Structure 1
């Protein structure tokens, strides 16, 4: 079967939507670091809409920092790929043309730095996941002992980390007297723009204090909130979509119909009119970000750990489990929802109901194992921040504690039937050791985890109410099993 490409676009069936603009006439105005499935199913689609509306300055150069996979998928296809929107009623296909160039950064870091320094580049965006920021999720501080950060401090012109590439590009522009690009984080970090700004400034100060002061004064780091469920693409997905296209597409991305992008409207060198594609440009992203992190992401993490331990492969499977479905709604209503400062015009009840329906979408095969990855990086903002706010006012944390101890139990590396769990996490070794150190005793296991300062800050770790709640929840899981623990917790809080 022929590959999807510029030369074969005309061979697509007439019902397949494709770029409605001259891709060759478009200029690259955005460099995106971390061009994985999420970016291609989210921000790149908004940019594709903008290009189709006639704004030809905002095509994308994508860069993978960890492997050549996406470059190998997209380069032979001239950057083209298919977005497959999977809804309860079926799947619709659209070929996206916004990505014109793809790098694997490690093969030629100098070329990527040159692209970042090019005056035509006005925005550098990122989806590198929480662990890509080389920071301590509990405190937000830069990890100076991170191998990539150590390398980038010693070899600033041959960077490895996203932070190192940002700094190298900004440094080149500073030395040439150019204006800086806007740095746009699209990752699930609290106050992601401010967090990224602090990390870049901390790295810059270690390299050149004068450069740090220029970045501080001249560079914009808007915050964003991004929302779309994007499961990992499988070979079955590629085969199914390719059959419909009549062309082989190695770059297929699967996503739900829903999408949302809230952006702080603060750019140093212009921006696309993303609002014409449905993005929300606001002065303060924080309320939107908090609502999504605590309700969607918090629920997702809880379902990933408890659902996996209950034997469910996908989030849709967990929603078909009456106990976990009820648990999710109670989590939102009782513990996460009351901590929110709602954005203007928000309908909290409709938002929560929409989340339940999105999670239950049978068209998405979003694996619990995929969401469970990198829990040490995710829990501080998805669950622990909510716990901190609840404890501050003396409110109950039964369901939050069950979610956190589900993570602890998951990191043991084996499920309740004894099958091996492939725990993917930057702290995987420490997590396994912490669980093993407890020798099956809930209080000792909890104590060992609370010593992980990369996850639990000292104030939270030393809180006796948290320790008591976690010990009780883990005790239920270990003595009764995960499903029975969930049922018992629901029964107790309903009295």
Structure 2
């Protein structure tokens, strides 16, 4: 059955439907970067809230700034912006749910002004973002906004036809300010530390270069709540689409597949109203920091610890690494010995239980989470997910061997050939630059670790860490992943 509003009532009985009239909803959120994670997380929570019969004025207008967003828009538009959330676990208790909280999607390349007008309209009270870790144009080595980037310079020179998130938000806020329309909240849902503070810093830096008065108005009137977001959401495959069709009779051009687990911890800092997401499980707090540090260090850090080693070994899915006892033992050691001692107590969370839940979640074979997805954008992920742990280990004079193995695995992964001789592409916007860093075997330590925007200054200036990195790299290259892990785990025992 083709998914659309006309066919909703004809879907199989196990398919959960929106418990509200979609025609009765009104847009209150514009979301930039409509992908799998947004649809499995923010759109899911908003749909659940509207299904309680309240907050129907918080429907989402999707926004695409990239040319490749056109297919996503066309797929969604072809089914009245409905999509299926296909929740897959290792039991038979999977959920199939049609989500109706997205009601439109605008593309920047169709009309920059139409998009600016939408963001400037009074009904839009939150502009949310999933633009990837690298989309904030912050130099990780010094925390400064990279104003020199060509796309930023273009937007500063062409404020009426912007191309970046900063250009569009500033153009819309300029119109709102001129019209006397209250500002909106800018809410990052990206997976990076202090995401609200990072968004604020980047937007204010852009605004200062664009218009000093606008900068001051944004500083005084726009809020940027921090958030911790969590749900493993693999890339939807053809196999997923066929499984949804064959088992549940839904023909969906762009379903989203996710794990059963979902969490959103959100700072209650909104200047122009917000949905009552707490009614459907969102945790509001004054301080997100303990939750995000836990999640980024343990979940994201462990993901990186597994993914490059797994890819080198020849695995292609996260659950395959978890079927290998060596990988599970290494992950547990990394979490327990290297990350956990750095974490402050997390209100309401038992870290032992949380770490066990990660082992179970990573072992979920049903969602078939691709290692390629987790491997992607390593040059942006390392500074946020792994480097802080390494810096703390160095500062405390603690063992760095396990953490060095994560970096060494990435270095060898950048060679583009796994242990079985299979070649692969590096999914990173800076792939060519990163591969150049490992082209000369004799200079890998110096050139790779010396990239300050990735590894900072403490790592290349730590003789102990550099030596550990070199030992791990040589072991992976000459002995392979399994023997390297066996040796490392034996030394712990």
The answer to whether the superposition gives a TM-score over 0.5 is yes
Partner of 2:136: 133
Q: For 1:157, what is the secondary structure of its paired residue?
A: coil
SS in 1 for 2:145: coil
Residues 1:395 and 2:394 aligned together? no
Task: Report the Cα offset of residue 173 of structure 1.
Answer: 1.2
**Residues 379-419 of structure 1, C-alpha deviations (whole Å, 9 max, x = no match):** 11110011111111111121111011111111112222332
Partner Cα distance (1:483, 1:163) in 2: 46
In structure 2, what is the equivalent of residue 88 of structure 1?
Answer: 90
SS of the residue 2:438 aligns to: helix
Select which of 282, 298, 301 maps to 2:301.
298
Q: Which range moves more in the overlay, 104-113 or 484-493?
A: 104-113
Distance across 1 between alignment mates of 2:12 and 2:58: 28
Of 3-12 and 187-196, the range deviating more from structure 2: 3-12
Which secondary structure does the structure 2 equivalent of 1:77 belong to? coil
Counterparts of 2:392 and 2:484 in 1: how far apart (Å)? 24
- 1:357 aligned residue: 360
Question: Aligned-pair distance for 1:10?
Answer: 1.8
Q: Is the 8 A contact 2:321 2:328 kept in 1?
A: yes
Measure, in 2, the Cα distance between the counterparts of 1:173 and 1:460.
Answer: 45
Which deviates the most, 45-54 or 291-300?
45-54
2:450 aligns to what?
451
The correspondence of residues 102-117 of structure 1 with structure 2, limited to 5 A, is 102-117=105-120
Matching residue of 1:172: 175
Aligned counterpart in structure 1 of residue 334 of structure 2, from 331, 348, 364: 331
1:72 to 51, 71, 74: 74
- 1:35 and 1:116 map into 2 onto residues whose CA distance is 16
**1:262 and 1:288 in contact (8 A); partners too:** yes
Are 2:421 and 1:422 aligned?
no
The alignment partner of 2:97 has SS state of strand
Partners of 1:288 and 1:391 lie apart in 2 by 23
Distance 2:345 2:132 in 1: 25
Deviations 1:432-465 (A, max 9, x none): 111002x3x4xx2111102222212234332323
Q: Distance in 2 between matches of 1:231 and 1:165?
A: 29
Secondary structure of the structure 2 residue equivalent to 1:436: coil
The residue number in structure 2 matching 1:11 is: 10
8 Å CA contact 1:291, 1:342 repeated in 2: no
Counterpart-to-counterpart distance in 1, 2:206 and 2:455: 24
Please say if 1:56 is aligned against 2:59. no
Q: Distance between the aligned counterparts of 2:477 and 2:361, measured in 1?
A: 31
Partner SS for 1:93: strand
Q: With the length of structure 2 as denominator, give the TM-score of the two structures.
A: 0.97
Q: Deviation at 1:479?
A: 1.9
Separation of aligned partners in 1, 2:156 and 2:324: 50
Of 238-247 and 400-409, the range deviating more from structure 2: 238-247
2:104 partner SS? strand
Aligned to 1:120: 123
Unmatched segments (≥5 aa) in structure 2:
none
Distance 1:85 1:199 in 2: 35
Equivalent residue number for residue 25 of structure 1:
24
Distance 1:139 1:40 in 2: 33
Q: Does 1:285 align with 2:284?
A: no
- The answer (yes or no) to whether the contact 2:290–2:346 under 8 Å persists in 1 is yes
Task: Say whether 1:259 aligns with 2:272.
Answer: no
The answer for the alignment partner of 1:101 in structure 2 is: 104
Distance 1:225 1:464 in 2: 34
TM-score scaled by length of structure 1:
0.96
Which residue does the alignment assign to 2:386? 383
Q: Distance in 1 between matches of 2:306 and 2:413?
A: 12
* Structure 2 equivalent of residue 42 of structure 1: 41
Q: Cα offset for 1:245?
A: 4.2
Aligned equivalents of 1:204 and 1:62: distance in 2?
A: 24
Distance in 1 (alpha carbons) for counterparts of 2:401 and 2:72? 42
Partner residue of 1:340 out of 335, 343, 350: 343
Mapped contact 2:185–2:271 kept (Cα < 8 A): yes
Q: Deviations over 1:83-106 (max 9, x none)?
A: 001011133200000000012222
Q: Secondary structure at the match of 2:3?
A: coil
Distance in 1 (CA, whole Å) between partners of 2:255 and 2:333 is 36
Distance in structure 2 (CA, Å) of the matches to 1:6 and 1:469: 58
For the residues of structure 1 that align with 2:247 and 2:169, how far apart are their CA atoms? 40
Number of residue-to-residue matches in the alignment:
489
Alpha carbons 2:225, 2:267 under 8 Å: kept: yes
- Post-superposition offset of 1:492: 1.5
